[in-house]
Amino acid sequence: MKSGTRPSLVRRFWPLVALCLVVTAIVALGSLGNDELQVTITEMMIRLVVVVGIYLFIGNSGILSFGHIGFMCIGAYAAAWATVDPTWKQMMLTGLPDFLQNNQYGFLPAVAGGGLLAAFVALLLGSAIMRLSGIAGSIATFAFLAIVQSVYSNWESVTAATSSIIGVPTVVGPWVAWLFAIGALVLAYVFQISRFGLMLRASRDDEVAAKSSAVGIVKVRLIAFVVSAFIVGVAGALYAHFLGILTADTFYLSLTFVTLAMLVVGGVGSLTGAVTGVIVVTVVVEVLRHMEAGVAVGATNLHLPQGSQEIGLGIIMALVMIFRPSGLARGREVPWPFTPAARRAKVPAV
């Protein structure tokens, strides 16, 4: 790079800037629409936080995790414990510690608490399992998801089990979710180009290093795991304050599937892929959902049978895996647009 420091700095952060602009544009346009669209946009932004969080671990380390929705569950419940009305908690959640049971906290401390609890659990779990890789690592994360599911859907005095936590203040709308989405993007991008990110990516691309359990690699993996669990935990907290009601089975196989599908469709190799996946899958699912509800064609109301969105999503995911294994973004970031076309081919992907 012969160019001076200023342009190269701009260029270094260009993919992040471009992604933030796209996300902002989507929310700005969405905020002009009706209530239904606002809800869709909010949910999309929350999912963006989840997927970017998962990407931070899977994309950099190359280890597939099925367990991240477990962190989302942990973050969601932790935040709800903080913000739900104490009188309800004293009645229903008798197992909560005093400081949670008898107090009510604001939204931001609750979100931070959700993220931190998820990160803490990730630190404990990760210290044990980060030296596993390949299938063993993936199965361990899956077992974690099942453990969280079993605990949260049965621990009557703390999670209200099947009777749900109700009355979580619904304070998350499109712009709140947007703010967190931008935060997640910045965190993920900065991590990716940091020394840690580069080390992890090098180990991911080199099979021997990836399989090794060298202390250095394991430590960096653990850092990525904890940071990514924090982001996903925060997303859980947002989701709780978007839904207003919590049941553990929200955070199980379906959500795991949808978020993984987003990552696979966009491509696990780049942040651009993660964002692309969220946008494309959201659009596809919305279209299918509308078609399930019915489209008036002339006098008749045509509609797809129930289950079509899920089947459609599964098929699209399989097609992408077969025909475009590195995802729609092909593992690349948004390219710098001001390079002459002739030279563009030589610019290496991040």
Chain residues in the site for another protein (CB under 8 A): 63-64, 128-129, 132-136, 138-140, 142-144, 146-147, 149-151, 154-155, 253-254, 257, 260-261, 264, 305-308, 310-311, 313-315, 317-318, 321-322, 325
- Residue with Cβ nearer another protein (18 or 253): 253
Question: How near is the Cβ of 245 to another protein at its closest, in Å?
Answer: 20
Cβ nearer to another protein, comparing 147 with 190: 147
CB of 161 to another protein, least distance (A): 8
125 token code pair:
């779990």
C-beta of 232 vs 264, nearer to another protein:
264
Rounded CA gap, 312 and 288, in Å? 8
CB nearer to another protein: pick between 155 and 336: 155
DSSP code at position 334: P
Provide, rounded to whole angstroms, the least separation between the CB of residue 249 and another protein.
10
Closer to another protein at the Cβ: 216 or 314? 314
Least distance to another protein, CB of residue 350, Å: 16
Residue 168 burial class via C-beta count within 10 angstroms: exposed 0-12, middle 13-18, buried 19 and up: buried
Q: Which is nearer to another protein, 64 or 82 (CB)?
A: 64
Contact 200, 224 (CB under 8 A): yes
Q: How many CB atoms lie within 10 A of CB 327?
A: 25
Distances (CA, A) of 85 to 155, 225, 247, 301, 309: 19, 33, 17, 44, 36
Provide the minimum distance between the beta carbon of 114 and another protein in the complex, in angstroms, as a whole number: 21
Distance (Å) of CA 112 to CA 47, 79, 116, 154, 233: 18, 8, 6, 25, 9
Q: Which residues contact 306 (CB under 8 A, 6 or more apart)?
A: 292
Q: Please state the closest distance from residue 332 (CB atom) to another protein, in A.
A: 16
